[in-house]
Amino acid sequence: MAEALNYQELARRYGLEPIPESVLRLTQIVAKQDADIQEVAGVIAKDPALATRLLRGANPHARTEADYEIRTVDEALLRNGMGGALLLAMGTPLALALVKTFQTMLSLKLDSIDPNSAVPLAGQHLLGTIGFSGKAAGMVFLRLSLAAAAEVASRMLGLDPQELSEPGVVNDTVGELLNITTGNFKSNLCDAGLNCRLQPPRVSQTTDFAAPTMAGTMLERMAFRAGRTVVFVDVRVNPWNDE
Amino acid sequence: MATKILTVDDSRTIRLIVTRAFRAYDCAICEAGNGEEGLAVAAREKPDVIILDVTMPVMDGVTMLGKLKETPELKAIPVVMLTAESGRDNILQIARIGVRDYLVKPFKEEQLVEKVGRIVSLEKKAATAPAV
């Protein structure tokens, strides 16, 4: 009976993985616009990876941790407000989804690296863009070199790189990787009460490595490496979309 | 007779991966790039199973699934959802309309073959005799 359907039973039957509890908790806390900043600070302070990312975001011009002017979680939350915590909460499921997608579809284990220490992409590279709108709104940008994109497509399709001559096949593959990653991310946001929907992905070549600016949004840049493959991900969020 | 599988996904990459997943089996793969095309191909080909994405242009997978279940000659075709959509509410909505199984992207080909193999019979292709 339809009424008797229960999500836990369905998840078990279909073999679905639940969202990590800590991520769900932080997203749920900051999704409440009247959340207590001390409660948020408590969750972040217990997770060194979250604290590192929060401090990195609060010190955007610092090249190294020694240059940080803002050194504590409390200071960073006071400086950037709850929007910064929301961005942090959203970046976590995005990073998890990206790592899982590359591991599952490409057998590539991505490790998170400091984006400030990664060598920027020079010249033409591939840029995938996807937007989301609703209670949470923003854009996700995925960048990788043309060589890395060809390797990714080759792995995903099980073809030799020289067999990728058909126009659009590399772009389609990168677009689908972005689609899968943001689809998982969007599902996590919806489960945390931030209902939103995705726009179709767009993939193009660019020489502009700078994260696009958008009024009223906050940005986090993340970087990942697997061997020679380096992937940059920018997430821009309008923290409190009115929709 | 070959098992007929319809893959409905706007990504050519996913359609290629689905085709590759079943290449060792005696299967005929039909493709459609959105729900509207998927309904037309399903009516024409009467597949044994449909592998269906959710987010697609023109007609999404949830709409196609609903229309499939409203069509007497198509409603018995088993559907496996293959989608990055893993939100609780969406899964409940799709389960209410009626699907046989659900596989969240990212996925491994073996998982897809296993899930489809629980619904329809998949026979390994006979080894081709070497040319003389």
Q: Is residue B29 within 8 Å of B5, Cβ to Cβ? A: yes
What's the confidence (pLDDT) of residue A200? 85
What's the confidence (pLDDT) of residue B130? 64
- Nearest CB partner across the interface for A172, out of B12, B86, B106: B12
Which strand ranges, in their side-by-side order, compose the sheet holding B79-83?
Answer: B27-32, B3-8, B49-52, B79-83, B101-104
Is A243 part of any domain?
no
**Most confident listed range (A25-34, A184-193, B66-75):** B66-75
Structure tokens, A133:
């709108």
How many C-beta atoms surround the C-beta of residue B130 within 10 A? Answer: 5
pLDDT tier for residue A193 given thresholds of 50, 70 and 90: confident
What's the confidence (pLDDT) of residue A54? 83
What's the confidence (pLDDT) of residue A33? 64
What's the confidence (pLDDT) of residue A62? 82
Per CB-CB distance under 8 Å, the chain B contacts of A200 are 10, 55, 57
Per CB-CB distance under 8 Å, the chain A contacts of B13 are 153, 156-157, 169, 172-173, 175-176
Per CB-CB distance under 8 Å, the chain A contacts of B105 are 101, 180, 183-184
Q: How far is B3 from chain A (nearest CA, A)?
A: 23
Mutation pick from A9, A184, A197, A199 vs chain B, by most beta carbons of B within 10 Å, is A184
The total domain count for chain A is 1
Structure tokens, B50:
């449909």
Task: Look at the alpha carbons of A149, A151, A154, A158 in this order and tell me if their dihedral is positive or negative.
Answer: negative
Taking an 8 Å cut-off on Cβ atoms, the answer to whether B92 and A5 are in contact is yes
Is the Cβ of B90 closer than 8 Å to some Cβ of chain A? Answer: yes
DSSP A203: E
Strands, DSSP E only, in chain B? 3-8, 27-32, 49-52, 79-83, 101-104
Q: Report the CATH number that the domain containing residue A167 is assigned in CATH.
A: 3.40.1550.10
Residues in chain B: 132
Residue A18 three-state SS:
coil
Per CB-CB distance under 8 Å, the chain B contacts of A18 are none
What's the confidence (pLDDT) of residue A241? 59
pLDDT tier for residue B96 given thresholds of 50, 70 and 90: very high
Taking an 8 Å cut-off on Cβ atoms, the answer to whether B89 and A183 are in contact is no
pLDDT tier for residue A114 given thresholds of 50, 70 and 90: confident
pLDDT in tens, B85-94: 888 888 899 9
Q: What is the mean predicted confidence (pLDDT) over A114-142? A: 90
What's the confidence (pLDDT) of residue A1? 43
Is A101 part of any domain?
yes
Mutation pick from B22, B58, B88, B90 vs chain A, by most beta carbons of A within 10 Å, is B88
Predicted model pTM: 0.85
Q: How far apart are CA A126 and CA A144, in angstroms?
A: 6
pLDDT at B3 over 60: yes
How many C-beta atoms surround the C-beta of residue A195 within 10 A? Answer: 15
Domain assignment of residue A131, given as a range: 2-238
Residue A99 three-state SS:
helix
Taking an 8 Å cut-off on Cβ atoms, the answer to whether A5 and B96 are in contact is yes
Q: How far apart are CA B26 and CA B5, in angstroms?
A: 11
Taking an 8 Å cut-off on Cβ atoms, the answer to whether A176 and B11 are in contact is yes
pLDDT at A20 over 70: no
Q: How far apart are CA A103 and CA A109, in angstroms?
A: 5
Interchain CB contacts (distance < 8 Å): A and B = 88
- Cα angle A53, A59, A63 (rounded to 5 degrees) comes to 95
What's the confidence (pLDDT) of residue B103? 94
Q: Rounded mean pLDDT of chain A?
A: 83
What's the confidence (pLDDT) of residue A37? 79
What's the confidence (pLDDT) of residue A21? 65
Residue A190 or B33, more confident: B33
Domain edges within chain B: 3-117
Q: Rounded mean pLDDT of chain B?
A: 93
Is A41 part of any domain?
yes
pLDDT tier for residue A195 given thresholds of 50, 70 and 90: confident
Q: How far apart are CA B43 and CA B53, in angstroms?
A: 18
Q: What is the mean predicted confidence (pLDDT) over A79-83? A: 74
Assigned architecture for domain B3-117: 3-Layer(aba) Sandwich (3.40)
Q: How far apart are CA B88 and CA B90, in angstroms?
A: 6
Residue B77 or B87, more confident: B77
Q: What is the mean predicted confidence (pLDDT) over B96-107? A: 94
pLDDT tier for residue A19 given thresholds of 50, 70 and 90: low
Beta-carbon contacts of residue A117 (< 8 Å; ≥ 6 apart): none
Q: How far apart are CA A136 and CA A4, in angstroms?
A: 30
Q: How far is B126 from chain A (nearest CA, A)?
A: 23
- Nearest CB partner across the interface for B104, out of A5, A16, A157: A16
What's the confidence (pLDDT) of residue A48? 83
Cis preceding-peptide flag for B106 (omega within 30 of 0)? yes
Residues in chain A: 243
Residue A138 or A161, more confident: A138
Q: What is the mean predicted confidence (pLDDT) over A197-217? A: 86
Q: What is the mean predicted confidence (pLDDT) over B107-113? A: 95
Per CB-CB distance under 8 Å, the chain A contacts of B106 are 100-101, 103-105, 180, 184
b/e sequence A53-73, b meaning 16+ C-beta within 10 Å: bbbbbbbeeeeeeeeeebeeb
